[in-house]
Structure 1
Amino acid sequence: MFLGTHTPKLDDKGRLTLPSKFREALAGGLMITKGQDHCLYVFPRAEFEQLARKVAEAPFTNESVRAYQRYLFAGTDEQRPDSQGRIPIAPELRRYAGLNKECVVIGAITRLEIWDSEAWQSYLDENEDNYAKAQEEILPGVF
């Protein structure tokens, strides 16, 4: 389970050092893809394979489904952390997420999200009140 907030930096070669607490879960390989809200999603390989199967089962006769499948799969990069826990972030993925040097990595249960630190702060500023005021209809029966 991926939880917490971490603030690694991209190095000059476009590599990000994964938080040490997540390295073992990702040592067997990971998939980096474009996420919603212009962040990147990082999935353990097995988790991404489950997601990919579900996405692939959607009817490709639907134009929106085809577009989503193309965007998701064409924008996915498979990586394996090096001995220091670093993963290279492809230039197109860095561009999509607006990643510069300062990054934020958040745990989102089944995946990590990589954000540009300023974009993450803006997201928090815009959504903090919504979280604080969340009503029953958001997650029925949870709280």
Structure 2
Amino acid sequence: MFLGTYTPKLDDKGRLTLPARFRELLAGGLMVTKGQDHSLAVYPRDAFLEVAEKANAASRGNPQRRAFVRNFFAAADEQHPDGQGRITISIDHRTYANLSKECIVSGSGKFIEIWDKAAWDAYSAENEESYSLGVDEVLGDIL
């Protein structure tokens, strides 16, 4: 399980060093794709394949579902961390997530998210009240 928040920097070649705590879980390969709210989602290869199977089995009759499935697969990029635990973030992914040098890598359970630090700070500030309230309609089936 991926937990915690880390602040690696994106280097001039578009490489990002994964947190040491995450490297073992990602050593067998990983998939980077578009995430929610202009973040990137990074899945261990096996976890990505589980989601991919569900996506392939889903009806594409709903336009929103169809758009999600298309984007999820079209934006997927397989990566293998190098000896220093770095992955290369593609130009398309850097543009989508508006990544600058300062990044946030956060655990999100079965996957990790990569955010631009300024975007993460704004998102966190904007959503802190919702998190604090823990509205039953939103979290009833989680907590």
What are the residue-to-residue correspondences of 1:81-92 with 2, within 5 Å? 81-92=81-92
1:67 positional shift: 2.3
Residue 5 (1) aligns with residue 5 (2)? yes
- Residue 95 of structure 1: aligned partner: 95
- Residue 117 of structure 1: aligned partner: 117
Q: Distance in 2 between matches of 1:139 and 1:59?
A: 26
Q: 1:33 corresponds to which letter in structure 2? A: T
Residue 40 (1) aligns with residue 40 (2)? yes
State the Cα RMSD in Å.
Answer: 1.3
Secondary structure of the corresponding residue to residue 72 of structure 1: helix
Q: 1:66 corresponds to which letter in structure 2? A: R
What are the residue-to-residue correspondences of 1:62-141 with 2, within 5 Å? 62-140=62-140
Q: 2:101 corresponds to which letter in structure 1? A: K
Q: Distance in 2 between matches of 1:136 and 1:62?
A: 27
Q: 2:41 corresponds to which letter in structure 1? A: Y
Q: Distance in 1 between matches of 2:111 and 2:5?
A: 13
Q: Distance in 1 between matches of 2:99 and 2:12?
A: 12
1:72 positional shift: 1.0
Q: Distance in 2 between matches of 1:141 and 1:40?
A: 25
Secondary structure of the corresponding residue to residue 3 of structure 1: coil
Q: 2:19 corresponds to which letter in structure 1? A: P
1:70 positional shift: 1.6
Unaligned runs of 5+ in 1: none
Q: Distance in 2 between matches of 1:142 and 1:96?
A: 29
What TM-score do the two structures reach when normalised by structure 1? 0.95
Aligned residues: 143
Of all paired residues, the percent bearing the same amino acid is: 55
What TM-score do the two structures reach when normalised by structure 2? 0.95
